[in-house]
Amino acid sequence: MVADYLQDVGKYPVLPKVQPGEVASMLPGMAPRQGESLDRILDDYARIIEPNVTHWNHPGFLGYFSITGSGPGILGEALSAALNVNAMLWRTSPAATELEERVCDWLRQMLGLPEIFRGHINDTASVSTMLALAAARHAQPDLDIRELGLAGRPEIPELVVYISDQAHSSCDKAVMTLGLGLRQVRRIVSDEQFRMRLDSLAEAVEADRRAGRRPMAVVATAGTTSTTSVDPMDRIAELCQREGLWLHVDAAYAGSAAICPELRGQFSGWERADSIVFNPHKWLFTPIDCSVLLMRDVDTLKSAFSLVPDYLKTDEEGVTNLMDLGVQLGRRFRSLKLWMVIRAFGVEGLQDRIREHCRMARDLVSLIDQDPDFAVVAPVPFSVVCFRWIAGDSPEQQDSLNEVLLNEVNAQGPVFVTSTVLKGRYTLHLAIGNLKTTEQHIQEAWQIVRTTADRLST
C-alpha cells in the first residue's frame, strides 16, 4: 500500500474535495467492541483516510514548504516503530543514542559547521527553538530562573528577544511558553529583500537597555517562511557578541541548502551562533518529524533541563542521556530514518536534488519574468518563488484578485500553492521540495496559474 501510494499519489487532487465534518461523519461514533480484521481496517483506510488527506507527498504540492517522505525514510520509520525504543537514556537504547549523535555530526559536517557544535533531534523546530531560548534564558547570569522562576522577583528585568518581521511564529510561541511575554518580542523591520535591518536591531537593543529591560537573544532566520530571505547573520553575530546576546539561527527549511558548497556562502555567520535549528523533515527528504538542534555549548542546555529522578538513575558514565537535553522524556528513534536517507542518497545525491529544486525555482522565475501580467516580488535564493498577478485598479483589488486566483488554481486539483502577505500585500508562494516534482509539474503549475488568470480576466 505504501509503494502503491507513492507511485499513484498523483492521481489524487492535492487538496481533497471534502467539507469540514465529512470525514468525521464516515467514522463510527464509538470504538468497536470486538476486534476487526486488518483487511477491513485497511479497506477503510483506503476508502476514508487516504483520499481525504492533503497529499503532501504529491508532486503538485507546492505550498508552505514542500516536503518529501522518501522511501528510505519511510522504511526507517517502520523499523523504528517495530523496535519501539524509548531512547530517553543511553541504557534504554545505546544504538539509538549513539546513532543520533553520529548522524547529527554527519549533518554538522555536511553543513560546514565547526566541530564544537553538538546536535540532537527533536520533533519540531517549534520545540528546538523553544529549547534554544530556554538555554538562553538559563544562561542569564545570576538569575537562576530554573530554580527561582520569573514571578515575584522585582529584581528580574524584562528579557527581550529580537526577531525580524519575517520570522516564524514559533519564536513568538516559544517566548509565550517560557513566560517571557509576547510583548518582549521585538519584530525588527526587514529591508526591501526581507532581511532583518541591522540598524533597527541595534536601535531596538539600545532602546530596551535604556528602558531597563534586558536584551536576551536574537533569532536570525536563514530562509524565512514567506520568501526564504536570509538575515545578515555575520553582522548580527557581531552585534550579539558585542552586546552579550544569545544568537539562535532558525534554518529549519533552508539549512538543507548549506550542504551545497555554492549555496553555503548565504549562511555566512551562522558558525558564530549559539544554537541552530535545521529540520531534515523539511527539505532533506526525511518523513516528519525530525528537527535537529545544534548547540555550541550543549552543557548550557543540559544544565537548563537535566533532572534525574530515582527511577531513571543509571550507572554508565560519560554517556549522553537524551532526556537531559529538553522537555520531553520519551524519545522516538528518529535518527534511524535520517541515517537511512543520508546513506541511500549520499551527500552528492542530496546536493543534486537540492540544486535541482533551486534550478526549477529559477526557471519558474524566468517564466514569470517573461510574463507582463505577473511579477516576482521577492528574491529567490533557494526553491521558493513569491509572485503576484498584476491586475486590478488598486492594491486592494489586486489583493483580492490574487486571492481569487489562488483559490481557483487550488480548486482544480493538480497543484496546491499557498499565499503569504509581503509588506501588507497578498502574495502567491510556490515552494519546490518534493522529490517527484519535475520541470513538467512546474510548467503545468504555471500553465494553470496563467490560464486561470486569463479566464478570470475575461
Residues in 57-86 that interact with its own copies by CB under 8 A: 57, 64, 67-69, 72-75, 77-86
| Residues in 155-214 that interact with its own copies by CB under 8 A | 156-159, 168-170, 172-184, 213
Cα dihedral angle (230, 236, 238, 242), rounded to 10 degrees?
-170
Residue 81 parent element (H or E): helix 71-83
Give the contacts of 293 (CB within 8 A, at least 6 positions apart): 119, 120, 121, 122, 128, 131, 132, 275, 276, 277
**Measured from the CB atom, is 38 or 192 closer to its own copies?**
38
**Measured from the CB atom, is 133 or 237 closer to its own copies?**
133
Task: List the strands of the sheet with 374-376, edge to edge.
Answer: 61-62, 416-422, 425-431, 384-389, 374-376
CB of 273 vs its own copies, minimal distance in Å: 21
Give the three-class secondary structure for 238: helix
Q: Taking the chain, what is the end-to-end CA distance rounded to the nearest angstrom? A: 44
Torsions phi, psi for 62 (to 5 deg):
-125, 30
| Residues in 216-255 that interact with its own copies by CB under 8 A | 225-226
CB of 422 vs its own copies, minimal distance in Å: 9
| Residues in 101-140 that interact with its own copies by CB under 8 A | 101-102, 105-107, 109-110, 123-127, 130, 134, 137
With CB under 8 A as the contact rule, the residue among 116, 207, 329, 411 that binds its own copies is 329
Give the Cα separation of 410 and 194 in Å (integer): 27
With CB under 8 A as the contact rule, the residue among 43, 242, 262, 308 that binds its own copies is 308
| Residues in 14-33 that interact with its own copies by CB under 8 A | 15-16, 18, 20-24, 27, 29-33
| Residues in 262-281 that interact with its own copies by CB under 8 A | 281
CB of 252 vs its own copies, minimal distance in Å: 9
With CB under 8 A as the contact rule, the residue among 209, 235, 264, 328 that binds its own copies is 328
Binding residues with its own copies: total (CB under 8 A): 151
Nearest one of 188, 173, 62 to 124, comparing CA atoms: 173
Residue 2 binds its own copies (CB under 8 A): yes
For residue 67 the three cell numbers come to: 516536503
Which window, 241-249, 329-337, 369-377, 447-455, contacts its own copies (CB under 8 A)?
Answer: 329-337
**Measured from the CB atom, is 229 or 291 closer to its own copies?**
291
**Measured from the CB atom, is 174 or 237 closer to its own copies?**
174
CB of 178 vs its own copies, minimal distance in Å: 5
Helices (H), 227-296: 233-243, 261-264, 280-283
Is 242 exposed, middle or buried (CB count within 10 Å of its CB: 0-12, 13-18, 19+)? Answer: exposed
CA 10 to chain CA centroid, nearest Å:
24
With CB under 8 A as the contact rule, the residue among 8, 115, 348, 393 that binds its own copies is 348
With CB under 8 A as the contact rule, the residue among 60, 223, 269, 287 that binds its own copies is 287
Give the contacts of 340 (CB within 8 A, at least 6 positions apart): 72, 73, 75, 76
Residue 99 binds its own copies (CB under 8 A): yes
